[in-house]
Amino acid sequence: MKSEEQLIHQRITKLEELRKLKIEPYPYSYKKTHNTEDILKLNLKTEEKLKDTIKLAGRITSLRVMGKASFGHLQDQTGKIQFYLRDEDIDNYNVFKKLIDIGDIIGITGNVFKTKKGETSIWITKFDLLTKALRPLPEKWHGLKDTELRYRQRYLDLIVNPEVKDTFLKRSQIIKTIREFFDKKGFVEVEIPTLQPVYGGANARPFKTHINAWDLDLYLSISPEIYLKKLVVGGLEKVYTICKNFRNEGVDRTHNPEFTMLESYQAYADYEETMELTESLYEYVAKKVLGTTKINYQGTIIDVKAPWERLTMYEALKKYLKVDIEKMNDMEIKKTLKKFDVEYFHYSKALAIDLLFSVVGPKLIQPVHITDHPKESTPLCKLKRGNNELIERFESFANGWEMTNAYSELNDSILQTRLLEEQEKKGRGGDEEYHPMDKDFIRALEIGMPPTSGLGIGVDRMVMLLTNAKTIRDVIIFPTMRPENK
């Protein structure tokens, strides 16, 4: 078998021969009349040939040259179709035979027909070279199975594995449908800055950068929350954004340092209303994209039809771990942590509850809202009515993943100041995941923010669920990767 370098050299030689023949290997445009999908939908009888001439363009993915006739397949965004051409039908058959390769992009003119074997095909009467490919595609029968290579060279992945293209077309449809849902409900889409002087809105370690013109450190956004709340203060009562967030964390099946987040904020609403909004969104998107609320994910049927189950965090611990943490003292809680192999470095009851709940999360397969978290879990949320040790926060789970995070938002500027000051002290103590003080945010709250509820949804995980993707890298078209030399 020839090495890739030898094959590239051969193709460069062909490129030079094409230019000697005055054939431009990289023309500027091509006027096509149809896509492959249009042609494959035609209802033809066996051996029927249509009189109308059509023009297609795409990449050659297979090719068989047989003397004075050749067969192959042409692939465009919408699918793949067979083509057939003969020496007697076109003027430059020898050019095709000698200088065209698998991977080249061509335009074809011809007639649609159906072969004896029942395959819809194009009988070529003219072809135009649109791009001479110098690097060969992976051999068809091997495909592109190396996952690292697939993610690094997504362009190859899209060519060789058609189902990958389908996933990203569906992703586009999902995001379009999310926008449609919020637009119909009167929300206004806004943009927030990616470069921020103060990071906040989530417990996460930021990426740090620097603006030379001002000699100033900036941070890539970990969350759009603070900016969206400022807009609610300004009188935009229903806002949302679909944006990139950046968190300086590791990569695993459901995490990527750069990811897509939907966040919405609604004035005069609380977390109860936002639970209903969440259910409605998932139901709407599933029906629009899949035609059903029942999603087959890796063999498990997950039904996102509203209403979803609701459990407090305490109830979830009782149901799934048989742990009644409300009745336990610190010693009993520590024994329970050890029983479930949960490690901790600093003990507090609130932290212990969060850590124990991490054991529960993977058990939550059908959609469920987990409500009423310990107040220490975030400084941005209102205390629960009737129990000031808890907050009005919920996280929605499905397939064992956290899918959403939402609050009744804290709008008491004095209390918010105190809580953020406490967080800032923890940050100065070396914990980079805690919020620094954002004085402008406090100034906005002092102007007055109405009662508000916010919602954050990881778009990538929603796409994973709706496309049956095993890992987040399968739904992020260019996932974060180590450099090849590492």
Which domains does the chain possess?
4-137 (2.40.50.140), 160-308+366-474 (3.30.930.10)
Q: Which two tokens stand for residue 60?
A: 């050659």
Distance (Å, whole) CA 268 – CA 238: 10
pLDDT tens, 361-415?
999 999 999 999 999 988 899 999 999 999 999 999 999 999 999 999 999 999 9
pLDDT tens, 213-242?
999 999 999 999 999 999 999 999 999 999
Neighbour count for residue 208 (Cβ, 10 Å): 12
pLDDT of residue 33: 97
Nearest to 239 by CA among 272, 202, 269: 269
pLDDT of residue 141: 45
pLDDT tens, 56-76?
999 999 999 988 999 999 999
Low-confidence residues in the chain, pLDDT < 70: 1, 140-145, 426-435, 486
Q: Which two tokens stand for residue 347?
A: 């003990």
Residue at 155: amino acid letter: Y
Nearest to 127 by CA among 97, 103, 149: 97
Neighbour count for residue 85 (Cβ, 10 Å): 24
pLDDT of residue 346: 86
Nearest to 217 by CA among 242, 198, 239: 198
pLDDT of residue 429: 44
Neighbour count for residue 460 (Cβ, 10 Å): 23
Q: Is the peptide bond before 479 cis (omega within 30 degrees of 0)?
A: no
Question: By three-state DSSP, how is residue 117 classified?
Answer: coil
Which positions ≥6 away from 39 have C-beta within 8 Å?
54, 56, 81, 112, 120, 122
Residue at 103: amino acid letter: G
Q: Which two tokens stand for residue 324?
A: 């009644």
pLDDT of residue 147: 79
pLDDT of residue 252: 92
